[in-house]
Amino acid sequence: MKTLTPLLAAALLALAVPAGAALAVTAEVDRNTVEISGNLYLTVTVSGDSHNMPEPKLPNMQNFNVYDSGRSQSISIINGRITSSVSFTYILTPRFLGIQRIPAITVFNGKEKAIAPEIQVTVTKPAQPSQQAAPQPAAPQRQPRRPAGRPAAQGGEPIFIKAEPDKRSAYPGEQINLSIKFYTSVPLSSNPRYVPPSFKNLIAEDLPPVRNGETDIGGVRYAYSEIKTAIFALTAGPAEIQPLTVIAQIPSKAAVDPFDPNFFQNMLAMSGAQGESREFTTETIRLDIKPLPAGAPADFAGAVGNYSITASADRTEARTGEAVNFSVTVAGSGNLKAVTAPKLPELPDFKVFDTMSSLDVRKEGDVISGKKTFTYILVPRTEGRKTLPAVRFSFFDPRAGAYKETRTEPVAMLVEKGAEGAKSVYFSPTPAQGAVTASGADIRYVSERSGAATLPHLAAKVMALPPWTHALPAALLALCFWLASFNRFKSANPLLFRFRRARSEASRDIEEAETLIKAGKPNEAVSVLYDSFMNYLSDKCGVKVSALTMKKAAGLIKERFPATGERSLEEIRELWTALELRHFSPEAAGTEGTSDLAKKYSLLLEMLEKELRK
């Protein structure tokens, strides 16, 4: 017992020592109840003991339109230890009424993985109809129906979309605001879904929130929703804004046949719970990006905008050998993500370590602005009064059409002599190695007695084994080669293996859904079936089907698998529609109906496995 006591004390002491801050992520919303016409702020905070924090991976949220609203980062360096925290803000616009869920959010830095639990939000009807994101006029005029996907160039159509940049010629890095307005004079079943465009020679930043209003065009009263996006050109030359898409659910006005097999589904569509899905797209917009003028300063690194620069140290008094945090902050309007660290002047009295940066982006008044802070770690070499010279920063002001230079004020510091025997500070994550000590004089022998000749004795025993045992090492080596080749083939062909295991994973999901149905949890079972069906089609097609409309998904399946019959495609549409209705309207899910969906899904799998073959 006396022997174990020191070991136990050492173990308890080790547990009591705080470990480094592990990767962590939290997610929270500003409220848990929101109107269908309102916005929800989602804040995801990632923290850890590294200055390079990974961005969160947002799950596919079909219940919300998601817009990036900026980020802020803070870095602290104390005694050589770095801790960082980054907050990402998103604005969510609900698309459906009822209880909606924001799925779990994950972050991964290559070594650690952290997960924030899902969040439940209740979406209610608006207090006043006029406050809806897509208001419903009392008496909309009847207009001829326009084919889905065809852009409307002018008013007179019941629904159309416009995309206009505030300028068609700009410099690289100059902000261009793209305005997307979706007009409607007819009621909608839910908030429209916005599919952003792709860009050529451009990068984009959301400018939330969504603006809503009403206007008269050609004597017709329209409700509109406006989305703005800030775009920045990368290089001089042509640039393009590819077509963007808005998907809207429009209540069907067709007569309902009581003898139609889909009678109840059609009744729900007419009542507004589900409607006809239509796409509205814009034309390609071309921009002219002008080259920056000649005569750039020598220290110009490509910053475009309007900036100022400041510098400060975390303390004005220090000792030789101690670390000082010297921060240089670039603030203003422009693409701060592209701003690089200013070059420090010569500092012969200091040892300079690597730079770390933190970013704080704001999106106010449709302008991308904020600040970017670069932290340098300086270690004084000698004592005395020291001055950190001014740091210069050059940028191009697109409004003035000229290069400008700004600089910081010098920073004074008093450095005293460090204490004798003071330990060195290491800024690398690995601890410093200890000093080399002598292990002894001359040669230290392990043993003075000569050992027995064990090797020949062991070899004789191996040779005495049966002949077939000598083939085992060769068989194991061949098996290792085969496994390595199989793993390389599997890594090089992920889509093929997803295609092959799609059926088995779908069967497991059906079993899980049936277990939930027996437990009296039909809503959870519908969610499992819906996700499983989307994953099954995605694995078979090699494309994320949930990001497509039903019409495009059916066309893709027919293109990839020409042997697919019309009956199978119709069954896919019916199951997709039924699962989507119950998934996005939980009150429509019942135990009996959910059980029928599971059986229909199982039978459809049997049919599709015969037709979805490569």
Q: How confident is the model at residue 448 (pLDDT cuts 50, 70, 90)?
A: low
Query: pLDDT class for 445, splitting at 50, 70, 90?
Result: low
Residues 6+ apart with CB under 8 A from 5: none
pLDDT at position 143 is 40
Q: Encode pLDDT of 501-512 as tens digits.
A: 888 888 988 999
Q: How would you list the strands of the sheet with 237-241, edge to edge?
A: 169-170, 285-289, 237-241, 199-200
Helix orientation angle between 550-560 and 566-584, rounded to the nearest 10 degrees: 150
What's the whole-number mean pLDDT along residues 176-182? 94
Confidence grade of residue 14 (pLDDT, cut at 50, 70, 90): very low
Q: Examine the domain organization and report whether 264 and 337 are in the same domain.
A: no
- The per-residue pLDDT for 88 is 87
Secondary structure (3-state) at 426: coil
Largest CA distance in the chain: 110
pLDDT of residue 449: 56
Residue identified by tokens 């000792």 is 319
Q: Which range (415-424, 484-493, 594-603) has the least confidence?
A: 415-424
Mean pLDDT of the chain: 78
Q: What is the pLDDT of residue 546?
A: 67
How many domains does the chain divide into? 4
- Asked whether the bond before 209 is cis by omega within 30 degrees of 0, the reply is yes
Kindly indicate the confidence band of residue 438, based on its pLDDT and cuts at 50, 70 and 90.
Answer: low
Higher-scoring residue by pLDDT: 431, 450? 450
Look up the domain containing 261 and give its range: 131-289
Query: What pLDDT, on a 0 to 100 scale, did the predictor assign at position 420?
Result: 52
CATH classification at residue 499:
1.20.120
Residues 509 and 588 in one domain: yes
Is residue 26's pLDDT more than 90?
Answer: yes
Query: Once rounded to an integer, what is the mean pLDDT over residues 44-63?
Result: 81
Going by pLDDT thresholds of 50, 70 and 90, the confidence category of residue 305 is very high
- Chosen domain end from 108, 126, 144: 126
- Whether the per-residue pLDDT at 380 is higher than 70: the answer is yes
* Higher pLDDT pick, 150 / 253: 253
> What does the pLDDT average to over 36-56?
83
| CATH number of the CATH domain containing 389 | 2.60.40.740
Residue 79 banded pLDDT, cuts 50, 70, 90: low
Q: Kindly indicate the confidence band of residue 125, based on its pLDDT and cuts at 50, 70 and 90.
A: confident
- The dihedrals phi and psi of 269, each to the nearest 5 degrees, come to -65, -40
On whether residue 575 sits in a domain, the answer given is yes
> pLDDT class for 414, splitting at 50, 70, 90?
very high
| DSSP-assigned letter for residue 96 | S
State the average pLDDT over residues 79-98: 81
CA distance 114 to 289: 41
Q: What is the pLDDT of residue 219?
A: 87
For residue 29, count CB atoms less than 10 angstroms from its CB and return exposed for 0-12, middle for 13-18, buried for 19 or more.
middle
Last residue of a domain, one of 75, 98, 126: 126
**Residue 475: inside a domain:** no
The answer as to whether 4 is a domain residue is: no
Distance CA 175, CA 398 (A): 9
* 361, 403: one domain: yes
pLDDT tens string 581-602 = 776 555 544 555 788 888 888 8
Quote the Cα angle for 26-30-32, to 5°. Answer: 95
Query: pTM of the prediction?
Result: 0.56
Identify the band that residue 559 occupies on the pLDDT scale cut at 50, 70 and 90.
Answer: confident
Same domain, 184 and 283: yes
Structural element, H or E, at residue 33: strand 33-35
* CA angle, 58 then 64 then 68, to 5°: 55
Q: How far is CA 459 from CA 94, 177, 464, 473, in A?
A: 76, 80, 9, 16
Same domain, 239 and 315: no
Strand-pairing partners, residue 215, are: 222
* Same domain assignment for residues 160 and 252: yes
